[in-house]
Structure 1
Amino acid sequence: MLGNTLSVFENQLLDSIQEAEVVGLLQTLIQARSDFPPGDCQTAVTVIADKLKAADIPYHILANSTHQPNLVATLPGHAARPTLMYHAHIDTVAPGDPAAWQHPPFSGVVENGFIYGRGAGDDKSSVVAQIMSLVTLARAGVQLNGRFQVAVVADEESGAKQGTRWLRDNGHLQPDFLVVGEQTENQVAVAERVACGIDLTIFGKSTHGAMPWAGDNAIMKTARVLAWLEQKLWPQLAAKSHPYLPPATLNIGKISGGLQWNIVPASCKVEMDRRLLPGETRAAAMAEIERLLDEYNATVEPLQYELFSTGKVAPNINTSPEEPFVQCAQAALHSVTRQPQALTGYVQTSDGRWFAGDGLPIIIFGPSDPAVGHATDEHVSVTQLVEATKFLTVLALRWLSATPYTRKKGVSNGS
């Protein structure tokens, strides 16, 4: 059933989802620290494994690093394909100063309808909603026309080398349809921007700090260059648009230069975060900056610089809103919330990017506001958490009950 109303059986399924159980699992998971550094996820993964054991759901622990295990749980269906995979990361960032928190960061306190703690939003609420949707279907004895998997991964916050990238590269994750759990406030996101790190080093001339006129202060020159880029580049980026995403951006994240206070600095390094929209490339973003730097050199003052970018830049998630999987998700969300929901985009960057070049339909969905992730007093609404669990239950039931496996790779997603 792909309509906007719930069937009798769907209502029965959703009635079986108990708020206390869902909230309790998230509280326990928050209390199982998995913050990076060091990113040790063993205790947190054990919490999920225990829940799956109790529901008699098969799972595998897969690890390239002992302290960063991943878990993949499977609800087998009548057929091996298609595979619908839900995916969320169980590691978190560090809490910062615990004294700055309203509640201890690993307490999982519930207050005024919100659950507080590191990972409450990013990303343990998505882990819980996905796992509880799997548990709900397993308890009901549902037999699906395909394989339903939930991947609980480590190492998202530090590059995914021990998590999603390792799992995918070694054939452990092979979805045909993918839901990535991240904070979208329970809206279906069909696109995201990807991060591209760019480093700019500007060179000057060193001399004694008492004689600045005899040198060329690289830090001062960098300040002038950045002001130039703000004037010239920022409007160009703001003009780049996407129907579901904010414009392209460039963030000046870190500046370092000089040797000590009484030496005119000979160099200054700027580390920048360029967020690419679907259709943009690293090469084009670099060329855009380089043209402006060359213009500065030709029209403002002599400029010697180096511009480079390292690290892997994955393709963007950019799933068509006409994709049947997206439409099924929208209908399921409408059924659960009892009102139509607009599509959106994910402002940040998710582990879904490692699958974006595979040609499969990908959506991003999860409870909580992305602005509270990584923040002091991180929290998630109990209402959103339970609603997400219900939506994910209905989506899996509908998609793997009503849709034959006819999707052709390479036609639904890309940048």
Structure 2
Amino acid sequence: MSGRDRLIHWLDSERERQLAFLRAFTRIDTCNPPGDTTEAADLFCSFLDDEGIGHRTEAPRAANPNLISSFAGTGNGHHLVLNGHLDVFPVGDASRWSRSPLSGDIVDGRVHGRGTVDMKCGTTALLFVHAYLHRLREELPGRVTLTVVSDEETGGRWGSDWLVKNCAAEVLGDCVLNTEPSGVQTVRFGEKSIYWLRFRIAVPGGHSAYPHTSPSANKIAASLIKDLEAIEALAPEEPEVVRCTLDRPDVRTAIDQSLGAGAAGVVRRVSVNIGVMQGGVKINMLPAECVLDVDFRLPVGLSRASLLKAVQAIVARHPAVSCEELLAGGPEANYSDPTHEMVGHLVRNAAQRLGYEPKPIVSLGGTDTRFWRVAGVPAFVYGCSPAGMGGIDESVSIEEFHHVLSVHALSAWDYLTGVTRG
């Protein structure tokens, strides 16, 4: 039996073990905030120990450990990095859930619990990919490195960003695979930039019966919001390979199918979300202060500097408004070559199981792959459907979980062995 055939055998014969691990992982609280992932990291370490795979921990903050597990095959070859995260969104009001947010229950072919979609199913899949490739290391050239990180949900400063900056020799590699929820109809080769700004409006304020004595901070905020929405008309200068890919009708259709009707247009423009608005003290008082926290998502081809210039021009029209960055120094919108050989492997292996080819797209949301792309390493995302991500009664399809695991395992094998299949 060939190495690839043995890989397929394990993918099929160990499904119960794969599912059991995902359910155990789901039952561990890794909500961020607060972000303590030590128990989950211990679960992963125990699995690696059982498989006889070496690993170590990098923990710039004690409650946010990051795992690195790396092994060499035989001879020279590609260095493939697998990247997933432990932390998940907060639960919110648990009383609104149909069952415990940490249940790991199986109902209607789905595993239920917070973070099952984003991204406990994906990180579990990569753990098993790493283990299966390790079993075949005598037949693999090159190197495989698994990075399982904390702090993804709050920006990655102590997770992937920290590893890329402080452990580059170990974790950069030649290519990165990530299993964030993308929808099985698409392979993500790039993502928009996240840019958060806080706007503060300060005026004297006063009694609402005397509006001639002071402007209203809330009214100024309303005018500012209308002006900020105009930023959505800024046109990006897309690189040709991105433009040609996103212009394809089949790609536009896949984006809408995966992310919802209208998403194909949002991928290529700025989005402006007034995430938080706080102003006023009492109904009969003129608000003296209002604060807006605004989430801008920039498409590939539009720089943060260009957006900030447009914002500053708007702020200049409102003397009572000041502006500050909440995520300073973040990465620009980024992309890898959509014709990279790894995209071909992912598309081919997925199509053999789906009956159709997933399409290469740019992501609306952010992932840790941006840290590798900014460092010059091609990085790609293929994962389960994002439906229900972060919502009440979050759950993931077991069928999609096994599908994503198989596609990544076989694509990793093909990439490392240099096999091209028709």
TM-score interval w.r.t. the shorter chain?
0.7 to 0.9
User: 1:26 Cα shift?
Assistant: 0.3
The answer to whether the 8 A contact 1:238-1:249 is kept is: no
Q: Write the letter of the residue equivalent to 2:341.
A: P
The answer to whether the 8 A contact 1:317-1:356 is kept is: yes
**Count of residues in Structure 1 that have an aligned counterpart in Structure 2:** 390
1:4 counterpart residue number? none
Query: Is it true that 1:348 corresponds to 2:344 in the alignment?
Result: no
Deviations 1:328-352 (A, max 9, x none): 3322323344432222222200111
Tell me which of 332, 339, 350 is aligned to 1:333: 350
Tell me which of 311, 314, 318 is aligned to 2:335: 318
The answer to whether the 8 A contact 2:235-2:302 is kept is: no
User: 1:8 Cα shift?
Assistant: 6.5
Q: Write the letter of the residue equivalent to 1:93.
A: F
Q: How does 1:81-100 map to 2 (within 5 A)?
A: 82-100=78-96
Q: How does 1:385-396 map to 2 (within 5 A)?
A: 385-396=401-412
User: 1:28 Cα shift?
Assistant: 0.4
Structure 1 window deviating more from structure 2 (331-340 vs 16-25): it is 331-340
Structure 1 window deviating more from structure 2 (133-142 vs 163-172): it is 133-142
Query: Is it true that 1:185 corresponds to 2:202 in the alignment?
Result: no
Structure 1 window deviating more from structure 2 (313-322 vs 332-341): it is 332-341
Tell me which of 286, 293, 296 is aligned to 1:274: 296
Tell me which of 370, 375, 387 is aligned to 1:358: 375
How far apart are the structure 2 equivalents of 1:184 and 1:394? 18
Q: Write the letter of the residue equivalent to 1:127.
A: T
Q: How does 1:285-304 map to 2 (within 5 A)?
A: 285-294=307-316, 297=317, 303-304=319-320
What SS is found at the alignment partner of 2:409? helix
Q: Write the letter of the residue equivalent to 2:34.
A: P
User: 1:247 Cα shift?
Assistant: 2.7
What SS is found at the alignment partner of 1:374? coil
Structure 1 window deviating more from structure 2 (394-403 vs 197-206): it is 197-206
The answer to whether the 8 A contact 1:328-1:399 is kept is: yes
The answer to whether the 8 A contact 2:151-2:157 is kept is: yes
1:39 counterpart residue number? 35
The answer to whether the 8 A contact 1:203-1:303 is kept is: no
What SS is found at the alignment partner of 1:78? coil
1:377 counterpart residue number? 393
Tell me which of 8, 13, 23 is aligned to 1:14: 8
Q: How does 1:13-412 map to 2 (within 5 A)?
A: 13-17=7-11, 18-79=14-75, 82-140=78-136, 142-171=138-167, 172-186=170-184, 187-230=186-229, 232-236=230-234, 243=246, 245-294=267-316, 297=317, 303-310=319-326, 311-367=328-384, 369-402=385-418
User: 1:259 Cα shift?
Assistant: 4.7
Over 3 Å counting, the alpha-carbon distance change for 1:212 and 1:239 in structure 2 is farther
User: 1:60 Cα shift?
Assistant: 1.3
TM-score by length of 2: 0.85
What SS is found at the alignment partner of 2:116? coil
How far apart are the structure 2 equivalents of 1:261 and 1:249? 32
Identify unmatched segments of 5+ residues in structure 2.
Answer: 252-266
TM-score by length of 1: 0.86
Q: Write the letter of the residue equivalent to 1:89.
A: H
User: 1:239 Cα shift?
Assistant: 11
What SS is found at the alignment partner of 2:330? coil
Q: Detail structure 1 runs of 4+ shifted over 4 Å in the superposition.
A: 235-242, 259-262
- Percent identical residues: 22
What SS is found at the alignment partner of 2:339? coil
Q: Write the letter of the residue equivalent to 1:313.
A: G
How far apart are the structure 2 equivalents of 1:121 and 1:246? 25
What SS is found at the alignment partner of 2:410? helix
User: 1:235 Cα shift?
Assistant: 4.2
Q: Write the letter of the residue equivalent to 1:199.
A: R
What SS is found at the alignment partner of 1:363? strand
User: 1:326 Cα shift?
Assistant: 2.1
Structure 1 window deviating more from structure 2 (132-141 vs 214-223): it is 132-141
Q: Write the letter of the residue equivalent to 1:167.
A: L
How far apart are the structure 2 equivalents of 1:315 and 1:45? 30
Structure 1 window deviating more from structure 2 (331-340 vs 354-363): it is 331-340
How far apart are the structure 1 equivalents of 2:45 and 2:343? 30
Q: Write the letter of the residue equivalent to 1:206.
A: G
The answer to whether the 8 A contact 1:246-1:347 is kept is: no
Backbone CA RMSD of aligned residues: 2.5
What SS is found at the alignment partner of 1:64? coil
How far apart are the structure 2 equivalents of 1:397 and 1:11? 11
Over 3 Å counting, the alpha-carbon distance change for 1:234 and 1:278 in structure 2 is closer
